[in-house]
Amino acid sequence: MKIAERMRTLFDLRADPLVITNHLRQDEKMAGLVQAYPGLRLPGAWDGFEIAVRAILGQQVSIKAANTLAGRLVKAYGDPFQIGEDVGLAYLFPGPERLAEASLSEIGLMPGRAEAIRTLARAVLDGKLVFSTAIRLEEIIECLTALPGLGPWTAHYIAMRAFSEPDAFPAGDLGLRRAVAESEVAMLTESQLRQSAEAWRPWRAYAAIYLWQHYSSFKKEGRK
């Protein structure tokens, strides 16, 4: 049953896409996206701590760079993992007990970001941050931003992925700001995007998923 519950969270199987899309399509901007990409869900996480660490690794770097750092981290601190045949899985992601006092300098991480990961790990070990506990969005953001090195973008992204919070919204995200402006050059200000997103409550996290999908599509098309 525990595995089944985690799978429901991972694939957002508790969501009702009709309720969400019926609400979002009331907004002119979102109506076209809901029609273009029907049924998008909010991807969860098998392990909230891993997602939180990866969010920190992804701050202000490309996805490729973040994945490189994550690969170095699991090789340096994760436990080797084998299931017989080579299926591309070599290590288990290190838990908070392994990273709470880890140097992390050897993987090429800046000191501030390394300390953010260590502080996050200690908060989990101390019980100050529990990913399995359902708490309000405001409490999640307050708890996360109280940790050094975690700003609003990181906190809202962790709330989306690790807590499956349907109204989390990283308004400072460049991709979201460009997606609403429909340009790879121009973008809305964070304040403008946050104002537009008020119409998408209480499903702003789903709106973000639609906007990221839209931004990815028009980047591939080379639209300006």
Active site residue ranges: 173
45 class by beta-carbon count within 10 Å (0-12 exposed, 13-18 middle, 19+ buried): buried
Contacts with 72 (C-beta within 8 Å, 6 or more apart), sequence order: 107, 108
Q: How far apart are the first and last CA of the chain?
A: 48
Burial status of residue 186 (CB atoms within 10 A of its CB: 0-12, 13-18, 19 or more):
exposed
Distance between CA 78 and CA 91 in Å, rounded? 6
The residues near 185 (Cβ < 8 Å, ≥ 6 apart) are 224
Q: How far apart are CA 203 and CA 33, in angstroms?
A: 14
Are the C-beta atoms of 168 and 205 separated by less than 8 Å?
yes
Give the alpha-carbon dihedral of 79, 82, 87, 93, to 10 degrees: -20
Q: Across the chain, which distance is largest between two alpha carbons, in Å? A: 53
